[in-house]
């Protein structure tokens, strides 16, 4: 018999009544004919998913998409308007700042109170207090009223309390974003320990790298609806597609049946132009050896990346290189609108979607000529790969200057190039990047 899921969310919807002012709330309550002054807002609409034991789920979504509402319903802080949630196991939650803590109590008292709410005896919590106090690391403030805490101090105490009650399910809602980098890292290490122990972790974050590296599954909420559920790297790419569609209606190309890619533009030339003796084979982009057929392509129609060529030392159309190799990518772009200041972007990522390095012509202060409608340009990117052996992916993008470092996106082809790196036998190292270790014995 299949074990019961740790969390089962069935057709959950949540409606809020919004009033323009407190006066309208009072008028509706007292109106003899029950005149409606409020507007209905559905924070969640028919959301369903299950979480198996041992899973770590990342939840992505723009502000107002319903993430916090969903977590509060799962934690029984709030009741759904429709649907139901079943939770099997002890749940510990770190929700928005201030949730569950009495501002007049000290940090120590709040930790004991938090344990009591979780059903842990006071004597047992007193035994755990030294470890909790050490993890929070706020010194004498641990015995001061919580109302005197900074947001960072509050998060330290709240997180320390949440993880030291042996939860079967740990829920974290963006609260770690207010902590310092060192404490965030400390928390992520602890979350990883909880995950490997077999507990469930529900994690809301705007950091895609955290989601892709920490979670084994991710979901996207958009306008209260669950729009995607799957492998974190793929879901992170889909989330970026949603973010890039804010200004204009964009077209996203999904992998076509049979592995092909449907174009977002009109018929495009399949081959490179022959220029200055470059050995560019006359083949479509989908026939490049390193082309990733699972790329995610986002475009607003302003430009299209027609083709690319990955080269090194006179060799073209590479798919695997030795660690430390100097590479060059030629990128062919066609502009469908006039762009005064084009920007070409590049990003190198691990197979889990963690960014290793990225830049663009704006950040490097490399001027690019303006482009007219119909212009086709070829750009060149040079870089080295002092990487450990493994699979890596490259994003290519083109934008137009709008005052921001990344510019306004015209087209991005994420994970378009699959690059396999082989390690040099004579220069072995641990980790991802070779930072040039040199060990020397010093006489004294």
β-strands 320-322, 408-422: how paired? parallel
Helical spans, DSSP H, in 75-145: 107-117, 122-136
In CATH terms, the fold of domain 247-422 is Coagulation Factor XIII; Chain A, domain 1 (2.70.50)
Q: Which residue has the tokens 């009741």?
A: 79
- Kindly calculate the radius of gyration of the chain based on its CA atoms and give it in whole angstroms: 26
- Write down the domain spans for the chain: 7-236, 247-422
Q: Which residue has the tokens 């009650």?
A: 165
Q: Which residue has the higher pLDDT, 65 or 406?
A: 65
- Average confidence score pLDDT of the chain: 81
pLDDT at 283: 61
Q: Whole-angstrom Cα distance, residue 415 to residue 237?
A: 9
Instruction: Return all residues near 18 (Cβ < 8 A) that are at least 6 apart.
Output: 38, 39, 40, 41
For residue 272, what pLDDT band results from cuts at 50, 70 and 90? very low
- CA neighbor of 110 nearest in space, from 43, 179, 164, 157: 157
Least confident of 6-20, 220-234, 241-255, 385-399: 241-255
* Whether the Cβ atoms of residue 86 and residue 8 lie closer than 8 Å to each other: yes
CATH number given to 7-236: 3.40.50.300
For residue 434, what pLDDT band results from cuts at 50, 70 and 90? confident
pLDDT at 382: 93
* Average pLDDT of the segment spanning 242-258: 44
Q: What is the pLDDT of residues 146-193, one digit of tens each?
A: 888 887 788 888 888 888 888 888 888 776 655 566 777 777 788 878
pTM (2 decimals)?
A: 0.63
3-state secondary structure 241-295: HHHHCCCCCCEEECECHHHCECCCCCCCCCCCCCCCCCCCCCCCHHHCCCECCCC
Q: What is the pLDDT of residues 186-240, one digit of tens each?
A: 777 888 788 888 889 888 887 777 787 778 899 999 989 999 999 888 888 788 7
pLDDT at 39: 81
Q: Could you say which DSSP state residue 371 is in?
A: B
Q: Which of 25-39, 73-87, 331-345, 397-411 has the highest mean pLDDT?
A: 331-345
């Amino acid at each position: 018999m299949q074990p019961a899921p740790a969390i089962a969310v069935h057709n959950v919807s949540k409606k809020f009544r919004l009033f323009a002012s407190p006066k309208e709330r009072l008028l509706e309550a007292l109106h003899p004919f029950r005149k409606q002054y409020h507007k209905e807002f559905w924070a969640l609409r028919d959301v369903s998913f299950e979480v198996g034991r041992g899973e770590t789920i990342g939840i992505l979504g723009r502000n107002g998409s319903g993430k916090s509402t969903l977590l509060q319903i799962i934690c029984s802080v709030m009741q759904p308007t429709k649907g139901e949630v079943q939770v099997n196991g002890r749940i510990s939650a770190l929700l928005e700042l201030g949730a569950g803590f009495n501002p007049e109590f000290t940090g120590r008292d709040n930790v004991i109170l938090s344990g009591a709410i979780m059903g842990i005896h006071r004597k047992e919590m007193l035994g755990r207090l030294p470890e909790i106090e050490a993890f929070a690391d706020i010194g004498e403030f641990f015995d001061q009223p919580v109302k005197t805490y900074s947001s960072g101090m509050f998060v330290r105490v709240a997180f320390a309390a949440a993880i030291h009650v042996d939860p079967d399910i740990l829920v974290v809602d963006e609260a770690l974003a207010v902590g310092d980098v060192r404490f965030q890292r400390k928390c992520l290490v602890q979350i990883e320990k909880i995950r490997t122990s077999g507990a469930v972790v529900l994690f809301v974050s705007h950091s895609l790298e955290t989601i892709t590296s920490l979670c084994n599954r991710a979901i996207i909420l958009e306008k209260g609806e669950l729009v995607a559920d799957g492998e974190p790297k793929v879901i992170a790419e889909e989330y970026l597609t949603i973010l890039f569609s804010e200004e204009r209606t964009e077209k996203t190309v999904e992998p076509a049946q049979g592995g092909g890619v449907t174009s977002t533009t009109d018929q495009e030339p399949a081959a490179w132009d022959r220029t200055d003796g470059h050995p560019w084979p006359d083949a479509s982009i989908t026939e490049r050896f390193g082309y990733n057929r699972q790329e995610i392509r986002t475009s607003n129609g302003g430009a299209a990346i027609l083709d690319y060529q990955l080269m090194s030392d006179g060799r073209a159309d590479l798919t695997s290189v030795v660690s430390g190799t100097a590479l060059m990518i030629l990128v062919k772009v066609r502009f469908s609108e006039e762009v005064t200041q084009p920007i070409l972007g590049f990003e190198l990522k691990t197979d889990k979607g963690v960014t290793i390095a990225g830049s663009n012509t704006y950040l490097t202060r490399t001027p690019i000529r303006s482009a007219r409608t119909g212009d086709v340009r070829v750009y060149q990117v040079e870089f080295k790969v002092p990487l450990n052996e493994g699979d890596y992916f490259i994003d290519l993008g083109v934008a137009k200057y709008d005052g921001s470092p990344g510019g306004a996106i015209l087209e991005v082809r994420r994970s378009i190039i699959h690059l396999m790196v082989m390690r040099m036998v004579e220069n072995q190292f641990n980790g991802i990047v070779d930072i040039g270790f040199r060990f020397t014995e010093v006489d004294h």
